[in-house]
Amino acid sequence: MVNVDLVDWEDPALKRWLGTIMKHGTRYCYRTAFRAYAQYTKLSASALIDEAIEDSRRDLRQKRDVLLSRLLGFYTWLKTEYPRKSRGSGEHKILGKGVSDKLAHMFVSAVRSFYSVYDLEVRMKGARRLPKAKITNKRMIVAAEQVKILVDNARTPRDRAIILSHFQGGLDVSTLCSLVYGDVSEGLAKNEHPLKLEPQRPKTGVQNYTFLGRDAITALKAYLSDMRSKGVSFKHTTPLFLQERGKGAMKTSNVQDMMKDVAVRAGFIDAENNGKAFNPIGPHGLRESFGSIMTNSGVPDTIVDFWLFHEVGELAQAYKSVQFESIRKMYLDREKLLSISASKVDVEEIKEKLRVEVEQQNRQLQIMVNSLVTENMDFKKRIQGAEQELKNIDGILTELSSRFEKYLTKQLKTET
């Protein structure tokens, strides 16, 4: 990453662009992308805009397609020359050169948004488009058995509660860090099970809800008891997960560092993430595992998306009101699949129960499909019959029209 001093963030061209980006996380990523672009081009933001505007005003026969050339060259440079550094806290070491396809695409998209603020668009289609991104750093999908190993290698009650909240609630790391004590206090006081969580996801602004199972609830209670024994008093607005030092709120980087430490201690990865750009069994890996388990056990995609705080449109309101109990039951029926304390027999029983349930749903769906096919065939026959009747009517009308014309001709001849 280029030294920040090489980028003048007070440049009017940059301030105008960054002023259009409301979300802190997006702004941070876009600033990182522009630093890389500045390192590649060796030009200021205003100079880049002037260069692109000048080229856009040229006669078509003299245009150099500066903007397209810059972006394609930038992508190639990112893939081959951009210094890839270690993540997390502490000194960042250079691990090599070149970033993943996905990150290179994201950086180019960020720079394109910079140009678009000044109505400078470039079509990157056909031969001009970027190579399709390949997924090279796949996250690890885990089951409860692997999560138990992670929990067993966690250093503190807080870390155990965080791991289980990711896995049993499908929470992303920024949402987990945004939780306050008030989000869980009432449910814990009532011994609610499963524990309902209804925060607003910082990344998207979506406010759905998810649940925590018994293991996560137990771990959360143990963590809160541990903190209180150390003299920490939790108020409604106190961040739920606190740093060990300073007692400030956990940051996403703190959680990522903790998860990597636990994954290394558990033997799932080495210090270099098994050669990947990120920890494959980090918070997002646990979140994806939650979604995979729920989807594979027959939960409809829209409900899984709802639990993951994705946008589901008008269905969200129904899930929050009239369908709440049925959705809660869906979670309870599958909780053992997420439980690190459930026995293998229990898990196999719930899998068999859900398999039968899904088969019944599939049979009902097939009956509905067959019924619709039959109705469709009947409808087609009726349409064909109606079309034939229309043809007959058209023939009759043609015959009547012909007779009427002959009659008129005969009458005219008679009158003359």
Structure tokens belonging to residue 240:
């739920």
Question: Tell me: the pLDDT tens digits for 166-201?
Answer: 999 999 999 999 999 999 999 999 999 999 999 988
d(CA 201, CA 175): 5
Over range 130-143, report the average pLDDT. Answer: 68
Residue 4's pLDDT is: 45
CB 150 within 8 A of CB 263: yes
16 by Cβ neighbours in 10 Å (0-12 / 13-18 / 19+) ranks as middle
Structural domain boundaries in the chain: 4-128, 144-342
CB 135 within 8 A of CB 171: no
pLDDT at residue 90 greater than cutoff 80: no
SS (H, E, C) the chain: CCCHHHCCCCCHHHHHHHCCCCCHHHHHHHHHHHHHHHHHHCCCHHHHHHHHHHHHCCCCCCCCCHHHHHHHHHHHHHHHCCEEECCCCCCCCEEEECCCHHHHHHHHHHHHHHHHCCCCCCCCCHHHCCCCCCCCCCCCCCCHHHHHHHHHCCCCHHHHHHHHHHHHHCCCHHHHHHCEHHHCHHHHHCCCCCEEECCCCCCCCCCCCEEECHHHHHHHHHHHHHHHHCCCCCCCCCECCECCCCCCECCHHHHHHHHHHHHHHHCCCCCCHHHCCCCCCCHHHHHHHHHHHHHHCCCCHHHHHHHCCCCCCCHHHHHHCCCHHHHHHHHHHHHHHHCCCCCHHHHHHHHHHHHHHHHHHHHHHHHHHHHHHHHHHHHHHHHHHHHHHHHHHHHHHHHHHHHHHHHHHHHHHHHC
Question: Tell me: the pLDDT tens digits for 270-290?
Answer: 877 656 667 888 999 999 999
pLDDT-derived band at 246, boundaries 50, 70, 90? low
CB 286 within 8 A of CB 142: yes
CA distance from start to end of the chain: 102
Return the CATH architecture of domain 144-342: Orthogonal Bundle (1.10)
Q: List the single range of 20-34, 220-234, 265-279 with lowest mean pLDDT.
A: 265-279
Instruction: Tell me: cis bond preceding 194? Omega within 30 of 0 counts.
Output: yes
Over range 296-322, report the average pLDDT. Answer: 91
CB 249 within 8 A of CB 139: no
Average pLDDT of the chain?
A: 85
Number of neighbouring beta carbons within 10 Å of residue 84: 17
d(CA 268, CA 257): 15
Longest dimension (CA), the chain: 120
Q: List the single range of 58-67, 253-262, 397-406 with lowest mean pLDDT.
A: 58-67
Angle at 357 between CA 355 and CA 360, to 5 degrees: 110
CB 37 within 8 A of CB 13: no
pLDDT-derived band at 86, boundaries 50, 70, 90? low
pLDDT at residue 345 greater than cutoff 60: no
Q: Rg (Cα) of the chain, in Å, rounded? A: 31
The larger pLDDT score, comparing residue 364 to residue 211, is at 211
pLDDT at residue 359 greater than cutoff 60: yes
Residue 244's pLDDT is: 81
d(CA 287, CA 291): 6
Residue 66's pLDDT is: 85
Count of alpha carbons within 13 angstroms of residue 131, beta-carbon side = 14
One-letter amino acid for residue 184 of the chain: V
Count of alpha carbons within 13 angstroms of residue 107, beta-carbon side = 28
